[in-house]
Amino acid sequence: MKSTFLLYGLAVAATFAPTLSLAGEVQLGPRPYYLIDRMADSALKSKLAACANGPFARTNFSIGHRGAPMQFPEHTVESYTAAARMGAGIVECDVTFTADKQLVCRHAQNDLHTTTNILSTEHANRCVKAFSPASGELKASAECRTSELTLDQFKSLKGKMDAANKTATSLVGYMNGTAPWRTDLYAIETGTLITHADSIQLFKSLGVKFTPELKAPAVQMPFNGFSQEDYAQKLVDEYKSAGVPASNVWPQSFNLDDILYWIKNEPEFGKQAVFLDDSYSDKAWDPMNPATWRHQMEDLKAKGVNYIAPPMWVLVTAKEGKIVPSVYAEKAKAAGLKVITWTLERSGPLTTGGGWYYQSITELTKSDGLVFELLHTLAKDVGVVGVFSDWPATVSYYASCMKLE
């Protein structure tokens, strides 16, 4: 029997375009056109403008990062459905687990205080750190984990836009921290949380493929007898139980041991396992200097890793006023690694430099029109095979225009 969440999800999906099937026509909306209008005149702008009337198709190059969280609460039925409608061929469920060891879709095991309404519910007393208002130099804080809730308790929560006002002196103020360039418009009456198993069924009905990310636990492992290996295996088992072929799944992890576990124990799924390289967290690390790298590309390839996924800024640099591939990108390509990157359109307006995701090309980042310029470099010069986005319509527009699969 289909779960209540799944049935509700199908109904939600249908409301976006009642005359279309769930896996039907792609609907991009105005944002790609807004970005093209803000590009400087160039051959690329002309090419993109010429594609204004489509046709637009779903493509694996376009990956829904947590769904479509620029405007919908992340990792919810509504966010996933919006991503599929915007042409994402692959959608992400970040995977963590509850107290009863059930897999659910959340960006982190300990993010419920910023991504759900838990602090205003009866389950607030289960948080490992209760809400504390800002006082003097102390910021407002809280910490609530999925591992403190049963699955039923988790499912009783409502998703919200991922945000918290750390200067707030009240709970209401703390929960009302959505950035002005995002919106709470679609979070007022929606925000349906979902299990990993139900996300599989929903994605199948939407006609999209899967990229689950095994999130690092916030608790000590093993957790009540649940080991890291059990956790990695359970993720794969839920696809096998649902009859999903391994070729439609790109399991991810920042933990190289998880990737190597899948390569050894689930080799069909391991072929497409995506290593999320977080070497950038090392203070001395430099994407232009291989001597500073934690992992060498040839070593990863020799271990059976086929896909690597760093953030966008790691793959590019600025040279003579243009965006060009970094040494990191060139080395990955030379080693035969397929590259996926993250996360387009997570930075807000680019008029002030773009922030963290654009840090290697800050000097060039002066307008939202740069989004397509960066995307073009990533696709044509770096050779990425997929791009995560918080608003997949932009990547879908580009991929359809350039006829990328």
pLDDT bucket at 25, cuts 50 / 70 / 90 = confident
Residues 6+ apart with CB under 8 A from 64: 79, 80, 83, 84, 86, 88, 90, 91, 92, 208, 388, 389, 392
pLDDT bucket at 3, cuts 50 / 70 / 90 = very low
**Strand segments (E) across 268-366:** 274-275, 307-308, 316-319, 322-325, 338-344
Q: What is the pLDDT of residues 260-314, one digit of tens each?
A: 999 999 999 999 999 999 999 999 999 999 999 999 999 999 999 999 999 999 9
Q: Is the pLDDT of residue 19 over 80?
A: no
Mean pLDDT of 219-247: 98
Rounded-to-integer distance, Cα 223 and Cα 376, Å: 44
Q: What are the residues facing 311 on neighbouring strands?
A: 342
3-state helix/strand/coil string of 170-182:
CHHHHHCCCCCCC
pLDDT at 372: 98
Q: What is the pLDDT of residues 319-330, one digit of tens each?
A: 999 999 999 999
Rounded-to-integer distance, Cα 251 and Cα 309, Å: 12
Q: Is the pLDDT of residue 16 over 90?
A: no
**Average pLDDT of the residues of the chain:** 94
CATH numeric code, 4-109+190-401: 3.20.20.190
Mean pLDDT of 6-33: 58
3-state helix/strand/coil string of 200-239:
HHHHHHHCCEECCEECCCCCCCCECCECHHHHHHHHHHHH
pLDDT bucket at 405, cuts 50 / 70 / 90 = confident
Q: Is the pLDDT of residue 47 over 50?
A: yes
Q: Do 123 and 149 form a contact (C-beta atoms < 8 A)?
A: yes
pLDDT at 13: 43
Burial letters 345-357, b for 16+ CB under 10 A, else e: bbbbebeeebeeb
Tokens describing residue 15: 């409301």
pLDDT at 12: 39
Rounded-to-integer distance, Cα 167 and Cα 170, Å: 9
pLDDT at 24: 60
pLDDT at 18: 31
Mean pLDDT of 246-271: 98
Q: Is the pLDDT of residue 190 over 70?
A: yes
Closest to 124 (Cα-Cα) out of 148, 96, 155, 98: 148
Residues 6+ apart with CB under 8 A from 178: 161, 163, 184, 187
Rounded-to-integer distance, Cα 379 and Cα 386, Å: 8
**Taking CA 84 as the corner, what is the angle to CA 83 and CA 88, rounded to the nearest 5 degrees?**
80
Q: What is the pLDDT of residues 330-376, one digit of tens each?
A: 999 999 999 999 999 999 999 999 999 999 999 999 999 999 999 99
Residue 368: helix, strand or coil by DSSP? coil
Q: Is the pLDDT of residue 40 over 80?
A: yes
